Structure 1
Amino acid sequence: MFRPLALSLTLLSPVSAVETTFVNPIAEGADPWVTKYGNQYVWCASEGNRGISLWVSDRLTSLGQKHVIWTAPESGPYAKEVWAPEVHLLDGRWHVYFAASDGNNANHLAYVLQSRDSDPLSPYTLHGPFNTGDGADGKSPNIWAIDMTVLEVGGKRYALWSGWDAPGTDQQFLYIAPMKSPTELSGPRVLLAKNDEHLWERTEEKLESRGLAEGPQILQQGGRTFVTYSTAASWLPTYKLGLLELTGKDPLDPKSWTKSPQPVFQSTELTYGTGHSCFVKSLDEKEWWHVFHAKRDRQGGWRRAIFVQPFTFGADGLPDFGKPVSPGAALPFPSGESLPTPELPVTADFTKGHPKGFSYYGHLQFLNFEKDGMHLGTVPAHPVNDYRSGEKLVLDGGDFTDIEATTTVRYVKGDRDAGILFRVTAPSVGFDAQRGYFAGIIPRDGSVVLGKMDGSNWKEIARAKADIPANATHELGVTARGPEIKVTLGGKEVLTASDSTYTSGTVGLRVVDTHVSFGELKVKPLAGK
């Protein structure tokens, strides 16, 4: 059944596995939101437009562990199109602001979830919709609203959002209103700024195209209050950031806001469609970091990924965001942040949920934890801007040399590669966006494969024939001692090879265009020399 295969490749220079940098993009997603809470970060994300999840992490460069906090009903005014959630700690409770509709975009309104207490993972109750329309009551009629956020200044609290100027117009402007409480507005909306004063605010940057303003985000520093906003077209590379500053005393007076005459953050040749930002400090509070999304494709659409990069303030007190970092470029970790240093042996039982210390890289809808284990490459029931990217779950900070790693693999749908990553560094979103090795099984052509990646390219090292029934659970193993690598299937050696490109790194699991359930991952050091 198994035909061992042995070969040697030309040895390349070793690559250090010491991780002092990370690589963008750090995750799939759009409209990212993260807030610092003690020594942790709480990320907020739409759960396939049908719910909301919080991801808790001890690092800004990883989403961390996933927790679904709310699932939309099957039908009703807030059952679908759950967009751009943000989580804020206000008055001792967490509040998740989001937009939702009945499936018709014209019916989008703003809602908020309120936690039971100061624990971000405590139960939530739904409030809303907010009265974001015209008239003294804000609902005569209520009008389309998305991207709600909260501004606190001068001891008062305000809501900002992107709304239509009238029902059905599809013309987006920035609005502001005072808040009575975290769950209720106390006054009518006020138009904060026009959306087409500059050519760069128009969707296609042409006079004949319309203006568009959305995604307002608060940035406060040195006693000054700024609001960035996303403008032009979210579905095109023209998406960018504009800037407003509160230069007057009354935030409800449009004359109190001064608009920058130029965009403050926009596309490059390699990173484009940049926008819907948020801003957060490093763990030690010494650095400001910019979190934003960028498009995966130049053509129209909303397939996006999340980037993080530092920024500063200039001598004039204005934020200087610089240029968006390129995909694959290494950046130093945020100040005060470092990878953990896990020790062997490591055992991850995926039947118990998302284990702490493992980071996911891929479209958020392609990861799920069920009773039988981790489903990697899950085909979404309701796909939203989905794309495949060699989905992977990677152990944070592992720096292992000689190891034995085993996992159990059950194919749910598909027949492509699934298996073990080892001696891996610099993981990111992308099929081959990591440095290191991969050993996997491929049922469609009955083979076991071993290969390596350099961050953007794949090179096969060895391949062997094997019997891989699609309806069975397979035990896949890898042994790496120095340059010698062995791959086993069902405890039997099926492939051996020699390659010394990578000498150490972490471990993980990966799939290629297929849906697999992994029950566990075990990693232990090799005994002796």
Structure 2
Amino acid sequence: NLTRLGERHLVWQAPDEGPFSRQVWAPELHLLDGRWHIYFAASDGKNRNHLTYVLRSRNEDPLGKYDLHGPLQTGDRTSENLWAIDMTPLTHKGELYALWSGWDRPDSDRQFLYIARMESPTKLATRRVRLCDNLDYLWERTEPPPKGRGLNEAPQVLTQGDRLFVTYSCAASWLPSYKLGLLELVGDNPLDPASWQKRKGSIFQSTSETFGVGHSCFVKSPDGSEWWQVFHSKRDRSPGWRRTIFAQPFKWSRDGRPLLGRPMAPTLPFPRPAGEKDSLLKLPYSSDLSSDHSFFGHPQFYRSEGQSLTLGSSPEHPVNEFRAGEKILLNGMLPNDFTASVTMNFNRVREGRGSGILFRSTAPSVGFDAARGYFVGIKPSQNTVLLGKMDGSTWQELTRRAVTVDVSRDHQLSVSAEGSRFTVSLNGSLLFTHQDGTYKSGTLGLRVTDIPTTFSNLRITASP
């Protein structure tokens, strides 16, 4: 399913030191010549040394082993290499090309779009050619005039019929002004700048709710009937790279131009990609807490270890981190009536807004209360177990019960759902029952809110 991340697999890890040990940026996965290729940029920790590398799979398995190639020769002469990021392949009339964003000369910090023909998916065959200026229009500036400068990056290929487009990101990735521009191949030779035409206006830009949008890629729905755009957007308006992934459908004009529309609001539910299928979990069910769910939050606050899962634990060396009520949702749907229990340990931390079980949950996304459904959790800071519901953006408490929470030990939280009646227990003792009929179906998950929690022994059975 396009809207579920699935199980994570480690296919390559940067070395502890060296020219590609730090600042690994913008990986892209492509199937070329029967092998999978991951294009990415990396450096030694200094941005001025960013170059492009490619991993090539040893067989047809995208989750198997890869070999590293590069850096690719993205300079103007064999004797030098130049800053290059965001490489993506382009195939046209049987020839393979590479597109990327690079500096025009060493240390210039001026980003333009470049193209070269490829000898193979791991080697360039020609010197680079600059496709266009990075400041043909004022909206390409990083900031409004008189400030700012031109900046083009993140090229992505999009085809429809016999028309070939390249979207690109411009303005400033660290500001809300980030947006998409569009190039179209109108001539015969992709290596000739005169063969490309730039659209006069941005084709996708920020709204008041979803801003800093860019680096889009384009895929079809599972049944092939819809086109979807996957892009990232900023979490806040302050300068920086705290971002999350969005996906939304788009259309084509009658003459074959992409119509991307406007970025949707983060909490707005809309139909999932056509052809996505839900499976129903067969009860009784025991989760391995590693491969059966999707995670919503910053990945630095997710740690799966054996049969346990820790959410919300601060990383030792955080990068562009943000907190968002980290949660997981099981990939299968649950029967409407069930009993679920999980073991929780707060790692001796008392402060925070609590952790617990999400149930009858749908429409999840990254963010506090960004799901529809119910939540029952333990709040150690107030020695409380509480039950509430969410509509995708807001929280409404339904009831609570005072308890004594020892943050140095494990606790077993349990909830039973039978129709509109919910029964909540802690460590085998009944706490309360409550009735609410707002949500009748969905899946189950786990959530933390500003308190590191280790979960284990997640089990679901049919209600008696």
Same fold per superposition (TM over 0.5): yes
Question: Counterpart of 2:343?
Answer: 408
Q: State the alpha-carbon separation in 1 of the partners of residues 284 and 454 from structure 2.
A: 22
Matched, 1:313 2:252: yes
| Contact 2:336-2:417 within 8 A present in 1 as well | yes
In the alignment, the residues of structure 1 paired with residue 432 and residue 368 of structure 2 have an alpha-carbon distance, to the nearest angstrom, of 23
- Residue pairs, 1:103-142, within 5 angstroms: 103-135=45-77, 137=78, 140-142=79-81
Q: Contact (CA 8 Å) 1:414, 1:514: kept in 2 or not? A: yes
Q: Tell me which residue corresponds to 1:246.
A: 185
Alignment match, 1:498: 435
Seen in structure 2, the aligned counterparts of structure 1 residues 74 and 328 have a Cα distance that, compared at 3 Å, is same
Match of 1:431 among 368, 376, 386: 368
Deviation at 1:372, TM superposition (A): 4.7
- Partner Cα separation in structure 1 for residue 133 and residue 457 of structure 2: 54
Per-residue CA deviation, residues 47-82 of structure 1 (Å, 9 max, x unaligned), is xxxxxxxxxxxx111212211211111111111111
Residues of 1 paired with 2:109 and 2:279: CA distance?
A: 47
Counterpart CA distance in 2 for 1:218 and 1:233 is 21
In structure 2, the residue corresponding to 1:404 is in which secondary structure? strand
Alignment of 1:479-490 (within 5 A): 479-490=416-427
Unaligned runs of 5+ in 1: 1-58
Partner in structure 2 of residue 169 of structure 1? 108
Give 1:186's aligned residue.
125
SS at 2:280 equivalent: coil
Is the counterpart of residue 346 in structure 1 residue 288 in structure 2? no
**1:86 match:** 28
Tell me the equivalent position of 1:222.
161
- Is residue 2:389 matched to residue 1:452? yes
Cα pair 2:280 2:335 within 8 Å, conserved? no
Specify the code of the residue in structure 2 equivalent to 1:406: S
The answer for the alignment partner of 1:461 in structure 2 is 398
1:100 to 31, 39, 42: 42
Q: What's 1:198 paired with?
A: 137
- Bigger shift: residues 65-74 or 78-87: 65-74
Higher deviation after alignment, 205-214 or 124-133: 205-214
Structure 2 Cα separation of the partners of residues 223 and 404 of structure 1? 55
Matched, 1:359 2:299: no
The alignment partner of 1:193 has SS state of: coil
Do structure 1's residue 369 and structure 2's residue 304 form an aligned pair? Answer: yes
Give the SS at the match of 2:346. Answer: strand
Equivalents in 2 of 1:201, 1:473: separation in Å? 54
Q: Compute the displacement of 1:344 (Å).
A: 2.6
Q: Tell me which of the two structures has the higher relative contact order, counting C-alpha pairs closer than 8 angstroms and 6 or more residues apart.
A: 1
- Measured against aligned partners, the alpha-carbon deviations of 1:473-517 in whole angstroms (never above 9, x if no partner) come to 221111222333222121111233333322332211111112222
Rate the CA distance shift 1:336–1:482 in 2: closer, same or farther, 3 A: closer
SS in 1 for 2:347: strand
> Which letter does structure 1 place at the counterpart of 2:58?
R
**Which residue in 1 is equivalent to 2:10?**
68
Moved more, 88-97 or 412-421: 412-421
Offset of 1:400 from its aligned partner?
A: 2.9
- Deviation at residue 113 of structure 1 after TM alignment: 1.0
Find the aligned partners of 1:466 and 1:68 in 2 and give their Cα distance: 42
Q: Is the 8 A contact 1:414 1:513 kept in 2?
A: no
CA root-mean-square deviation: 1.5
Q: Distance in 1 between matches of 2:381 and 2:425?
A: 18
Distance 2:387 2:183 in 1: 53
Distance 2:203 2:436 in 1: 47
Out of 511, 515, 518, the position equivalent to 2:448 is 511
Q: 1:236 aligns with which of 171, 175, 179?
A: 175
Alpha-carbon distance change, 414 to 252 in structure 1, aligned in 2, over 3 angstroms = farther
Q: Report the Cα distance in structure 2 between the residues aligned to 1:512 and 1:169, rounded to whole angstroms.
A: 43
Contact 1:391 1:512 in 2 (8 A): yes
Alignment pair present for 1:335 and 2:274: yes
Contact persistence 2:135–2:149 (CA under 8 A): yes
Choose from 157, 168, 176 the match for 2:96: 157
Q: Out of 149, 152, 161, which is 1:210 matched to?
A: 149
Q: Is the Cα contact below 8 Å between 1:400 and 1:423 reproduced in 2?
A: no
The answer on whether the counterparts of 1:413 and 1:514 sit within 8 Å (CA) in structure 2 is: no
Name the SS for the 1:200 alignment partner: helix
* Structure 2 residue identity aligned to 1:155: G
> What is the percentage of aligned positions where both structures have the same residue?
54
Q: Quote how far apart the aligned CAs of 1:413 are.
A: 6.5
Query: Where do residues 23-62 of structure 1 align in structure 2 (5 Å cutoff)?
Result: 59-62=1-4
> CA offset at residue 259 of structure 1?
0.7
TM-score (norm 1): 0.85
How many Å separate the matches in 2 of 1:131 and 1:241? Answer: 27
- Distance in 2 of aligned mates of 1:372 and 1:285: 37
Query: Where does the alignment leave 5 or more consecutive residues of structure 2 unmatched?
Result: none
Q: In structure 2, what is the Cα distance between the partners aligned to 1:298 and 1:349?
A: 38
Task: Give the superposition deviation at 1:83.
Answer: 0.5
Preserved contact between residue 100 and residue 153 of structure 2 (Cα < 8 Å): yes
Q: Aligned letter for 2:246?
A: F
Contact 1:164 1:171 in 2 (8 A): yes
Per-residue deviation, residues 416-467 of structure 1 (Å, max 9, x unmatched): 3111111212211111011211111122332222221121111222222223
Amino acid at match of 2:315: P
- Offset of residue 471 of structure 1: 2.1
**352, 356, 377: which one aligns with 1:419:** 356
